[in-house]
A and B are shown apart, each in its own frame.
Chain A
Amino acid sequence: MMQSLKKGGGSFRHLLGLDGVPVETIELILDQAVHMKDIMARPFKKVPAMRGTTVVNFFVEPSTRTRTSFSLAEKHLSADTVSFSPSTSSLSKGETLLDTARNLEAMQPDILVIRHHATGAPHFLARALNCSVVNAGDGIHEHPTQALLDLFTIRENKGKLAGLKVVIAGDIAHSRVARSGIFGMVSCGMDVRVAGPRTMLPKGIESLGVKVFDRLEPAVEGTDVVMMLRIQRERLGEALFPSAREYFRFFGLTPDVLALADKDAIVMHPGPINRCVEIDHDIADGPRSVILDQVTNGIAVRMAVLHLVNQARLEALGLGVSVTAQAKTTEEGS
């Protein structure tokens, strides 16, 4: 069964990125997330599936919303959860990532959810440690759960994925949300466009299967989904763009620009939004925005990911029922 979840040959014990993940695996996660969302709608939002499982949220790069989303997902699945952030971790005292991780591992977590500013940090830890690793964002590389929740939100609103036209706009070069999003959307057969000032468009990105635009208007035309990325104010100091004002005027999502999209187009943003830098007030709060849905869906998608990763982890450990016992349970009535 877990064979079908293998990512490009690797095991689903870890979720390190969406690069190379087949569309069947993505659809499986989204389908499972539907049921997880139903659980969140119940009066009693808890299932015992991950009872007795320890999950460590290791957020070296700070993030309140992703960390909270993972924490809630873990709690809904009855897992035991512990969170570390820069101020509470010994990394600030000069301990290497490996030593910190080894110390964490000594506490025997089953799953490590990690966000780190260094590209490849989760991959390094997946090799160095014994527990399962879920990437909550590594440098400018990938943020797979974000891309999955974005795909879930699109499918929920549009009923399908393949063939939809989507534009991702903003600092593509430094966006792990964009990268994972591109991998996932292209796998699912979507028509993907990226747009941004040339200083923010990485060379060779067409090779990922996207169309590239250095102005927003032509990219938005006719799209079903408009996804705006956050412009990090810290990066404005890196001479990537003159000012927030100039950015909003020429690359921000205003009503005029949105009017070029399909009349039923939805507007998305990974959050937190910078009003009047990448997105207009009224649009962010308007009827076409599904930004808040993204937040809810994030918990459901993370529940699905954690459940599947956990089951793959258990399968790899070989603790599961033996084959003959398994045969018994396949016809187990009640």
Chain B
Amino acid sequence: MSDSGLLLDPFKGTTGKISSGLCSELGLDAETPFRYVVPSLVDLVAFPQEPGNEHRETLADLARAAQLGGVGLVGLMPDVIPVADHDGVIRTLRDGAKTGATGIEFIPHGALSVGLLHEDIAPMGELKAAGVRMVTDGGRPIQNTGFMRRILEYARNFELPVLMRPMDSYLSAGGLAPEGPAATRYGLPPIPDASERLGVLRAGEMALLTDADVVLFPIVTEQGLDALEAVRSRGARVRAGTALPYLIWNVHHMQSYDGLYRVDPPLSRPSDVQALAQAVRNGTLDFVASGHRAVNASEKETELPIAEPGMASLAHLWSLLQQISAEQEIPVLDLVKCMTVGPAQILGLDSWGPQVGVVDGIPPEIVGELQGMARNMPDFGVDTQRLSVQWGSSGSSIAIMGAAL
């Protein structure tokens, strides 16, 4: 039993000590020197590849990745094939978690328009009845503000929060790096900060106009955060989050032109990374998600502009959180809040899964499996501390959870 192990309660906002009595109560091995004992996490945004692209990753694979990462509930984006714009696909996605018997649950987010084509409103009532708690543009931003108004009004009708990507498609078109000296030096087509700003400002105005519950993801620039504060100060109900890669890597990692660093939106500048870290620390950002997106190795092993974007980070979640905490000086508790309290408030969750123990090192029996699941990940720092998780038993202690949801 490690003396330095911390019991983190993000709901109460407290840090305590781990005791063997507590471990037994939670169904965790009392002899293991856990670094942390925490509630299982909620990953608000992951991009499934089944149905449609099973050759990249099946839902069973995704559930297993979540299990390895200590995530008990995964929010799934609807841009599968066919798009999750009706209850059939929603059921397929949700049931996909059950095949592996991992104990992980999926919560699919519904598409806000049919086929994500942004021409016709999706049947949000039907989607909600099928268990959807949030609708989304699936990362494909709506450019027609008239249409955006309609879907926000309709979502408000069913009290569904709407997850949107803040981006101006015209300004971002073809871009591979944030506009500025780095993009110019590396010869990468630029994306001006104005794109994310306009996305945020527009969403803010529309939220005010329609009284909708707007959630923006991902915010990746300092300017985007500034716009977020501006719309909030006008009274708009806008929540926001970012994805893990934007807290670890930056545009200078692109100078090797290695497809492993290709994400969408592209990695930001070091100053943006610092601003995002500050926003996590001070609560400006409500949540952090993995943004997990698995592709085949061959889709990355190609020239940068056509490399498929995405990092399959879910299975390595705690190693990444630890690295972010150390490098960006963010207390682990704040990161955990962003993956528990924040998502819980957005989705209106009122119950929780098992607790999880986080321990140093990877057990030998899963090293090979984790290697296989690291094919989309750049080597995240030779010295990165690798952490793995152990799951407690389900239906365990509510004593740890505070009431403040």
Contacts and interface: CB of A to CB of B under 8 A. Distances in A.
B189 interface: yes
A168 B101 CA distance: 64
Given A97-B302, A128-B301, A138 B180 contact: no
A204 B180 CA distance: 5
Interface in B297-319: 298, 301-306
A281 B227 CA distance: 51
A72 interface: no
Contacts of B303: 97, 116, 118-121, 124
A105 B199 CA distance: 46
Contacts of A208: 181, 184-185
A98 interface: yes
Nearest to B184: A202
A203 interface: yes
Interface in A118-146: 118-121, 123-124, 127-128, 138-142
B192 interface: yes
Contacts of A119: 176, 186-188, 257, 303-305
Interface in A93-126: 96-98, 116, 118-121, 123-124
B179 A120 contact: no
Contacts of B205: none
Interface residues of B, number: 25
B258 interface: yes
B183 A202 contact: yes
B187 A139 contact: yes
A330 interface: no
A76 interface: no
A203 B185 contact: no
A280 interface: no
Interface string B267-305: 000000000000000000000000000000010011111
Interface in B362-378: none
Please indicate which of the listed interface residues A119, A128, A203 has the most CB atoms of chain B within 10 Å of its own CB.
A119
Given A124-B257, A203-B192, A204-B179, A98 B187 contact: no
Given A96-B298, A97-B302, A203 B257 contact: no
A214 interface: no
Nearest to A138: B187
A205 interface: yes
A293 interface: no
A124 B186 CA distance: 14
Nearest to A141: B187
A204 B305 CA distance: 21
A207 interface: yes
Given A96-B298, A124-B257, A207 B305 contact: no
B256 interface: yes
A229 to B, nearest CB: 15
Interface in A2-45: 19
A179 interface: yes
Contact of A203 (B176, B180, B187, B306): B180
Given A119-B304, A123-B257, A204 B188 contact: no
A176 interface: yes
Contacts of A141: 186-188
Interface of A: 19, 96-98, 116, 118-121, 123-124, 127-128, 138-142, 176, 179, 202-205, 207-208
Closest 6 CB pairs of A and B: A120-B257, A141-B187, A207-B181, A204-B181, A118-B303, A121-B303
